[in-house]
Amino acid sequence: MNLMNKFLLFFPKYLIKLFLIVSFVGIPSFSFSENELGVSTFMYHRFGEDRYPTTSVTKDQFQSHIKYIIENNIDVISLEKIISKLGNNEKFNDKSIAFSVDDAYLSFFEYAWPIFKKYKIPVTLFVSTDIIDSNTAGYMNWSQIKQFIDEGGSIGQHTSTHLHMPLNSKKFVKEDILNSHRSFIKNIGFVPKLFAYPYGETSLAIIELLKDLNISHAFGQHSGVISSYENHYYLPRFSLNKNFGTSDRFEFAVNSFPLQIDQFSPEDMFLKNNKRPLIELTLVDDLNNNELNCYSNPGGNWNSQEIIKISPLKFQIKLEEDFLSGRGKLNCTSKIDDKWHWFGYQFLVK
Ligand SMILES: [Zn+2]
């Protein structure tokens, strides 16, 4: 299945049209989840590097995102504010969005940062230190990273070697993270508080390690809208690239809301033995007979999956095939009071 079909599976045209109609006729009174509207958090990599469509947005796409949030007065908050609210057990009652950029490509510094800066839009840059230490072409260098910080930018950790964390021993990953801390201290004088997993991949063992290292929150790269019910060590971010960075898709994600999950199993996002787990999720709020739809990519194809309702709040998702090795993804949505609510998850499959 090509990427456009994948896009349409996530964002069928009727769904985008419905969203556009809803936004013109106004929003009906909102009763679901006590008005917790959540934060749609975005992740970019490269800007205007059209040779890399899976990691780059075009300059036109990026400009359309910024134009949309400026013209519509969308509230953009920092990732620091997200983790501070989570840490204080606060609700996300106001609808807002947040921006992050991974890997510190030069195209961020040269093209996108001046635009973020001009409009005073907060953005966090997640940096893997080795590639910067070795002055690699196409990446920022430490003096540019320092300039970014001096000009108001926020920095986050992204390991030193950008490794697949769950596939390595805890000891090895620990040393990798500590190496990145040494580089941060040497080059910018502090260790950033924020953390993002390379490839969005983690496991319960890796989460335990982060706790040992006093890292309190971590971001993945699965779709979803952050609410107070989020796993602090698996915060979702919508990925933006050429195929998933169109203005329709961006605006749909900006205007999506959390689908709050109380319990989710399997508990470990790293599937070592079972390639076809029985997925169970328990919602915080009754969907009031609104439909739940879940899409996933077992066998390498994105399809709607069979859902069994166990109780008003509890659902089972039966995957139609085994997950292939690599990243297995799940996206569940429900349309409630004309608003789209979204929950996403990513497994790493051995
Ligand atoms: Zn990365």
Average pLDDT over residues 60-77: 98
Instruction: State the distance from the centre of ligand 1 to the C-alpha of 238, rounded, in angstroms.
Output: 14
Q: Class of 3-349 per CATH?
A: alpha beta
Instruction: State the distance from the centre of ligand 1 to the C-alpha of 129, rounded, in angstroms.
Output: 11
- Orientation of helix 13-25 relative to helix 247-254, angle to 10°: 60
Average pLDDT over residues 127-150: 98
Distance CA(236)–CA(38), nearest Å, equals 11
Instruction: State the distance from the centre of ligand 1 to the C-alpha of 312, rounded, in angstroms.
Output: 39
Look at residue 345 in the predicted model and tell me its pLDDT: 97
Instruction: State the distance from the centre of ligand 1 to the C-alpha of 159, rounded, in angstroms.
Output: 9
Q: For residue range 220-231, what is the model confidence (pLDDT) as tens digits?
A: 999 999 999 999
Rounded to the nearest 5°, which phi and psi values hold at 349? -110, 125
Distance CA(127)–CA(105), nearest Å, equals 9
Residue 34 — pLDDT band, cuts 50, 70, 90?
low
Instruction: State the distance from the centre of ligand 1 to the C-alpha of 13, rounded, in angstroms.
Output: 31
Look at residue 137 in the predicted model and tell me its pLDDT: 97
The amino acid sitting at 286 is: D
Q: For residue range 190-204, what is the model confidence (pLDDT) as tens digits?
A: 999 999 999 999 999
Task: Flag whether pLDDT at 5 surpasses 70.
Answer: no
Residue 288 — pLDDT band, cuts 50, 70, 90?
confident
Q: For residue range 240-280, what is the model confidence (pLDDT) as tens digits?
A: 999 899 999 999 999 999 999 999 999 999 999 999 999 99
Residue 19 — pLDDT band, cuts 50, 70, 90?
very low
Instruction: State the distance from the centre of ligand 1 to the C-alpha of 67, rounded, in angstroms.
Output: 26
Name 270's bridge partners.
348
Look at residue 9 in the predicted model and tell me its pLDDT: 46
**Domains of the chain by residue range:** 3-349
For residues 268-279, one letter each, b for 16 or more C-beta atoms within 10 angstroms of the residue's C-beta and e for the rest, the string is bbbbeeebbbeb
Instruction: State the distance from the centre of ligand 1 to the C-alpha of 306, rounded, in angstroms.
Output: 33
Name 125's bridge partners.
101, 155
Look at residue 21 in the predicted model and tell me its pLDDT: 41
Instruction: State the distance from the centre of ligand 1 to the C-alpha of 158, rounded, in angstroms.
Output: 7
Look at residue 17 in the predicted model and tell me its pLDDT: 42
Look at residue 22 in the predicted model and tell me its pLDDT: 40
What integer best gives the mean pLDDT of the chain? 91
Average pLDDT over residues 73-97: 97
Distance CA(217)–CA(120), nearest Å, equals 25
Instruction: State the distance from the centre of ligand 1 to the C-alpha of 126, rounded, in angstroms.
Output: 7
Cβ atoms of residues 13 and 21 within 8 Å:
no
